[in-house]
Amino acid sequence: MDRHIEAFLEMMAAERGAARNTLDAYARDLEDFAAYAGAAGSSPIAADHGLVSAYLEDLSRQGLSARTGARRLSALRQFYRFLLSEGRRTGDPTSRARSPRMPKSLPKYLSETEVDGLIAAGAGLPGKQGVLLKAALELLYASGMRVSEMLSLPRAALSEDGMLILIAGKGGRERLVPLSEDARVAARELVESYPKPPPKHLFAGRSRIQPMTRQNFNLLVKKAALAAGIDPERVSPHVLRHSFASHMLAHGADLRSIQALLGHADISTTEIYTHVQEERLHRLVQAHHPLARAYIGPSAKEGGKASGEGQG
């Protein structure tokens, strides 16, 4: 690995508390650029604006998504800001680079009925899987925490009365989030199910000192989705986070409160959920408002009237 990239990753880990997954993503993106620079007879430390622009154009020619291009440019910007701050470069080759235009995409979420069914199906799985999934799904939906935050929870993360949970978020920022009664009970049952001495983490992996991996947990979530009769492709831990925020907003919570609960550093990140509600209201109007119904023509008038009766 390029020594400048290695120094950048060490800084991200030591000074910003970046998670392992974040560091791996930065490493992959920066090493991809390093390989491109090397093939062009240059290197990351010597790259200029032309090389960065050519790299971004090459990503587009390869058919990679705008989201991938934007993520890699973001990684390069962070990298070169680090080099500038360390005095290893005198200019930023990304300063004039334009981020690829990203298509507008709304977060996917489940209905409240589907969430209830998913939790019930998870709890119904046999043995320890049911106990663990019941606690995990209840906690995810009650708090909106990220799956990485949940899996890293120590066993002692719950407050004494179990009404609050301390979550260590991105960048080492901590937040206290209240829990529902169902989540408190499920978490307590999970703790009590462990043999003595109990493991270090609330969601223990095969090793008593390591948490469950994201891959193993995702497999369990897909298993619960199948048991609930929900397409597994629609279900993930992050979908539960989106469901939490969307349902909170639908029930009258304000954006600032949702921002604090989700641990978003910027309110603009939280504002996407207002678009979710706008889209939902638009669908409701299109489905139920009489003026939104398509004109069916005089010859079909009687049939259309009959078929429309009894609709909400």
pLDDT at 107: 79
pLDDT at 76: 95
Mean per-residue pLDDT for 246-260?
89
Q: Domain map of the chain by residue range? A: 3-85, 112-272
Instruction: Evaluate whether the domain defined by 3-85 bears CATH number 1.10.3470.
Output: no
Handedness of CA 155, 156, 161, 165 (dihedral sign): negative
Q: How far apart are CA 157 and CA 167, in angstroms?
A: 8
Instruction: Evaluate whether the domain defined by 112-272 bears CATH number 3.40.50.1400.
Output: no
Which amino acids are annotated catalytic? 146, 170, 238, 241, 264, 273
pLDDT at 237: 93
| pLDDT exceeds 90 at position 37 | yes
DSSP state at residue 167: E
More confident residue, 74 or 279: 74
Mean per-residue pLDDT for 51-70?
90
| pLDDT exceeds 50 at position 240 | yes
When pLDDT is cut at 50, 70 and 90, the band that residue 163 belongs to is confident
**Residue 124 CB burial class (10 angstroms; 0-12, 13-18, ≥19):** middle
| pLDDT exceeds 70 at position 300 | no
Instruction: Match 């790299």 to its residue by tokens.
Output: 55
When pLDDT is cut at 50, 70 and 90, the band that residue 283 belongs to is low
pTM: 0.60
Tell me the pLDDT tens digit for each residue of 41-57: 999 999 999 999 999 99
Tell me the pLDDT tens digit for each residue of 143-155: 999 999 999 999 8
CA distance readout (Å), 291 to 133, 168, 288, 298: 45, 50, 9, 16
Write the CB contacts of 225 (distance below 8 Å, at least 6 apart in sequence): 118, 121, 231, 232, 234, 235
Matching CATH topology for 3-85 and 112-272?
A: no
| pLDDT exceeds 70 at position 90 | yes
